[in-house]
Structure 1
Amino acid sequence: MACSKEKESQILEDMKEYYGKTIQSKDELIINDPGSGCNAPRCKLPAHIADALALVHPDVKAKSYGCGLTVPELLEGTHVLDLGSGAGHDCFALAKLVGEKGHVTGVDMTEEQLEFARSYIDYHRETFGYSEPNTDFVMAYIEKLGEAGLKDDTFDVIISNCVVNLSPDKRAVLKEAYRVLKPGGEMYFSDMYADQVVPEHIKQHKVMWGEGFAGALWWEDLVRIAREVGFSTPRLVKSSPINVKESIQELTGDIKYVAATYRLFKVPQNGNSGPADVTYNGSVTGHDKIIALDKNNTFKVDCVLEADPELSVIIQQSRFVSAFTVVPRNSQNGPAKYCFFMLCFL
């Protein structure tokens, strides 16, 4: 059941208070229970990402409340928007990865968080050796990006780290994200999901909203909403279970929660494309031998694999086009050269 406008406004005000005044570090969050999916060990990061993360100021790291790693591939020179940027942790890491010719904009509804992030802009510019800052932070609700002056078809990539679940209107968030993305652009985001529709008694609980449990989408609703606003089918990149603390299990009951990263693309849903033979050329930084576009599609250099029609369109109309050779599949192609290998998903 959708929230009333009055209820939505109250939830947003509660979230501003929770993340602006109540919570001062990630250690205070219930969701950061040791062993939860948000704290699960990760695979070894590509060196360029590890290096960028290491350069983020320690005080900014301490105020990072995310539940995943929102760093997609092939960011050099891109314009990135971070929905719910908080203290700026992901923005500053991405500012290094996009390079001096790229740009990162953080959007948040909490003035305290924005002031904190802005105070570290010059530190990171100097640390990265840039002549000018390539980050900025604006105040806005992620459901109403137009109020911050963000225009149509502006960004190459949108990221968000465990923030969409805090919104009472997911459709508005995804609709706005679709609007401000350039054609071929991508929304790459980590969030909390439930294995069923979250019941009303949880949605009435202020702290459960602040921690993400109340606003977590049933994953099937994500697929439905994404496609209704125009995105490609959500593609799961990685996921891990969230261990719910005993102190709140009385509220959550038998609901199972996961932290998951999805990627959505602004490409035609029904493009004139069929299956294709796809070959990766190894040109993406940090992925010179192998690249995974989602959990079901991993490409090894010079190994021809068959891609489904939608993935074929995504590759050809997104920033990934230069990294792949795509040949439409027909009866004369012969069998694809399937390669088998082990991959560690983050």
Structure 2
Amino acid sequence: MERSVASHPVDVLMPELEIHEAVKDYYGRVLKGTSDLKSNACLSPTTPMAPAVCRALKEVHPEVTSRYYGCGLVVPECLEGCRILDLGCGAGRDCYMLSCLVGERGLVTGIEMTEAQLDVARKHVDYHTKKFGYKKPNTEFVQGYIEALQRAKIKENFYDIIISNCVVNLSPDKLRVLKEAHHVLKDGGELYFSDIYCNHRLPAEIRTHKVLWGECLGGALWWEDLLRLAQEVGFCTPRLVAATAVTIGNKEFQTILGDYEFVSATYRLFKIPRSLSQSSCQVIYDGNITGHENFLKFDAYHTFKKNEMVTIDGELAGILKMSRFAEEFTFQVHVENEIGINCVTPKTVNWNPFEFTHTQEGSVDVATGGCCGSPTPCC
């Protein structure tokens, strides 16, 4: 296929309203469950989830679970007492699971544009409040668009974490999504999300195909554009957590897509003031995060073992010191040897998810897989 691509990563060839209505129709009327998906874009082999996540999922009301459309979980670490915003929450399955993990002092807000999905989510607030033994609900649902969080009256500088699962690619304006997310996160806050990415910018014939949009392929962002847009907005460098190659599983779609390749990848983006000056330092993970007592896999290239000293670069040092992870690490000034050379050089990493899948043979991180022994999505 001869590649004819957009001149800018946020060019929109279909009107925004048309895309929103097409996605609403696809997820509100066409899809009734995972079996209705027409490609493998949102599906991957199962991998074990943390026991606490599996236990929380089992507590979710069956009607909410039945309206789950197949995208796997994105569950970051260190959630107790956190305020979390779920972009494109659907019928609320992930919100209710997270409401159990953050505890009664935490808060989970779900925003969704499809009214039919929100009706199901809101219907079961009281059920889960009682199920988890809380005195009052710690979950709320808002109707709105992920490109317009302020218009939906989502509080600015408020959330510790924003999660999103195979939703950003459904948006016609990724730059606005990132700007809005940055606006509502507090300093030190994190956008932890999984999505489908392409190895090049997609041409018009793919980006105007409504079913491919609904299948999370037509709106896929070139991974390099994610890095540029995120830093343009003010986020730190997007840190790859995990990635796995995506197969299509549909001959008609494969013909349209030609030799374009896709990957499902989880990134974490932190909101750290650019004025913050940080230098490399040495850290020791204290091992106090529930479910991660022996080690903490922070991203694809940094795994912190309990009580082991590690040298990290200045950006990662700033992230750890300003985020919810600050109390989980002991920080020490970077020690140099007698001739002024660092004893240990911080890792040089490549955040390209396609290269990562080749080196890791497409492994799926525990944070994005499924549980309970059934095929589940990676995105």
User: What is the deviation of 1:91?
Assistant: 0.4
Cα distance in 2 between the residues matched to 1:41 and 1:330: 43
8 Å contact kept, 1:166–1:210? yes
Residue in 2 aligned with 1:29? 37
Partner SS state of residue 311, structure 1: helix
Q: Which residue, out of 288, 293, 297, partners 1:288? A: 293
- Give the match for residue 335 of structure 1: 343
Q: Greater relative contact order (Cα 8 A, min sep 6): structure 1 or 2? A: 2
Q: Work out whether 1:212 is the aligned partner of 2:220.
A: no
Identity of aligned residues (%): 46
Aligned residue among 92, 99, 102 for 2:106: 102
> Is 1:345 the equivalent of 2:349?
no
Determine whether 1:76 maps to 2:84. no
Matched, 1:228 2:232: yes
Aligned pairs for 1:269-284 (under 5 A) are 269=274, 271-284=276-289
**Structure 1 residues 25 and 209: CA distance shift in structure 2, 3 A:** same
- Output aligned runs, 1:59-208, within 5 Å: 59-208=63-212
Structure-1 separation of matches of 2:114 and 2:146: 11
The alpha carbon displacement at 1:337 in A equals 11
1:201 alignment partner, SS class: helix
Unpaired runs of 5+ residues, structure 2, are 1-5, 347-362, 367-379
Indicate if the aligned counterparts of 1:195 and 1:255 stay in contact, CA closer than 8 A: yes
The amino acid across from 1:129 in the alignment is G
Could you list the per-position Cα deviations for residues 200-259 of structure 1 after superposition, in whole angstroms to 9, with x for gaps in the alignment? 101111101111101011110000000000001000111111110223101111111111
Report how far residue 102 of structure 1 moved: 0.6
Equivalent residue for 1:9? 17
- Give CA-to-partner distance per residue, 1:150-181, whole Å, 9 cap, x none: 12101111001110000010000000000000
Over 3 Å counting, the alpha-carbon distance change for 1:287 and 1:4 in structure 2 is closer
- Aligned residue for 2:188, secondary structure, equals strand
Q: Does the aligned pair in 1 maintain the 2:199–2:261 contact within 8 Å?
A: yes
Measure, in 1, the Cα distance between the counterparts of 2:236 and 2:345.
27
Q: Using the TM superposition, name which of 165-174 and 20-29 deviates more.
A: 20-29
Cα offset for 1:303?
0.6
TM-score by length of 1: 0.93
What is the rounded CA distance, in whole Å, between the counterparts of 1:109 and 1:3 in structure 2? Answer: 22
Contact 1:67 1:191 in 2 (8 A): no
SS in 2 for 1:81: strand
Higher mean C-alpha displacement, 245-254 vs 168-177: 245-254
Secondary structure (helix, strand or coil) at the match of 1:76 reads: coil
CA–CA distance in structure 2, aligned partners of residues 295 and 235 of structure 1: 8
Partner Cα separation in structure 1 for residue 38 and residue 25 of structure 2: 16
Which amino acid in the other structure matches residue 145 of structure 1? L
**Residue 59 of structure 1, CA deviation:** 2.8
Instruction: Return the offset for 1:37.
Output: 6.4
What are the Cα deviations for residues 279-300 of structure 1, in whole angstroms up to 9, with x where unaligned?
1000111000000110000000
Give the 3-state SS of the residue equivalent to 1:41 in structure 2.
coil
Secondary structure at the counterpart of residue 279 of structure 1: strand
SS of 1:319's equivalent?
A: coil
Q: How does 1:261-276 map to 2 (within 5 A)?
A: 261-269=266-274, 271-276=276-281
- C-alpha distance in 1, partners of 2:201/2:364? 30
> Whole-Å Cα distance in 2 between the matches of residues 247 and 58 of structure 1?
34
The aligned residue for residue 54 of structure 2 is: 50
**Structure 1 gap segments, 5+ residues each:** none
**Greater shift in the superposed pair: 203-212 or 54-63:** 54-63
The residue number in structure 1 matching 2:260 is: 255
- Residue 73 of structure 2 aligns with an amino acid whose one-letter code is L
Structure having the larger proportion of residues in helix: 1
RMSD of aligned residue pairs (Cα, Å): 2.1
Runs of 4+ in 1 over 3 A off after TM superposition: 1-6, 332-338
